[in-house]
Each structure stands twice: as C-alpha cells, then as structure tokens.
Chains A and B, each alone.
Chain A
C-alpha cells in the first residue's frame, strides 16, 4: 500500500523537549506531507517535502525524507503545550493522497 504508517502511535513529553515522529511507506511517491489535527477540527498542513528533497525546515519543524528506506521523520523542537495534537503523514502519487493513522502527541506543561 502507498499509505504511510506513523510510529509511535502515541507520544507524551514535557514542554521544552523535542518530539520525533516517523512515517514509513511502501511505494514510490511524488511528495510526502505532514499535517496536524487538533481535537474536533480539520487538518492543517505543516510541511511538504518532494521526492527529490532530503530535508526541509519550517520554524520549529524539521522534516527528513529517505526514499531509499521509504521513510520520513518529523521533528518538533522545543515543544509547547499548544503542540498537543495528532500528527499525520500523507503520501502523494499523482492525485491520490493517502494518510496514515497518525501519532497522538501530548506535551505536558
């Protein structure tokens, strides 16, 4: 399946710590994206990394992509309580975008 699978399913850390989430997939992709979802809300786009890119940064976010291992990671540095949410990776092949089951991140004050 093209669909990404996140690891871990749940992560609990203290404010100020870094949070790392991983995503693995099985087929060649055009790009991979990370999204955030607060409880009861729609998803919000965080970052997109193309298949020919290896690393991207956006503020406190750092995303890596290893196409040889078919995996990606999302690093959130200096986490805040407001970062508490579910995080999803999504793999794109043409017009078909598939999401994984997500990582539930809890940041304790």
Chain B
C-alpha cells in the first residue's frame, strides 16, 4: 500500500516556467489537499478537493491551479513560476465522510526552487 505519492521530489525552475506537481493516493480517499511549507510559517493550505470534480481554494491559492478528474489524482499546476513560490509542497488525503476532514495522510513532499 503506497499511500500518498508525490512527484517529483525535487525541481528547479526558472521564473516564468510552468510545471505540474503530481499527487496520487491509493486509499480511495475522497478528500485531497495541497499545502506549502515555508520556514517558520507552518503549512499553508493552497487548494483542496472533497471529491472528483470538486475543488476549493484555501489560504494561499493565487498562482496555483488544481483539478480533480479522478478520485486517485490531484495535480497542482504552477502556470508561471515566481521566486515567491520556492517552498516545500505537501499533498495529503483523508477519508472524509462526515463533512469535516479527518486524519490526513501526507506525502513525503516536493521541494521546489524557482530562480
């Protein structure tokens, strides 16, 4: 059971380039989310999804796009990378049946540097 898998683990981009961070889970979880973690600031919620076809914005959505076409996958797209998007990105999923998200299972993170 792989859990939550993120790729790539490391990426270096130039300002203005685009890329997609991939996230897949094999636990049949309805809920998936993306966070970024910056030093001294904890994790900040970017986008989340409560099921296929449904996404919503979190605390810091600007500059990021998401879609949820399947239960398993929740890719995060950076359309035009900026140095301020240099961070460690975490994908997480949860089996959420009651409307309030429960225990999150995290991936190992993707470290992105934008030059």
Interface set of A (CB-CB < 8 Å, partner B) = 3, 30-31, 33, 35, 41-45, 48, 88, 90, 92-102
Contact = CB atoms under 8 A, between A and B. Distances in A.
B102 to A, nearest CB: 6
B45 A101 contact: no
B40 interface: yes
A43 B104 contact: yes
Contacts of A90: 104
Interface of B: 4, 31, 33, 35, 40-45, 48, 50, 56, 58-59, 90, 92, 96, 99-109
A48 B103 contact: yes
Dominant SS at the A interface?
strand
Contact of A45 (B44, B99, B105): B105
A99 B42 contact: yes
A95 B96 contact: yes
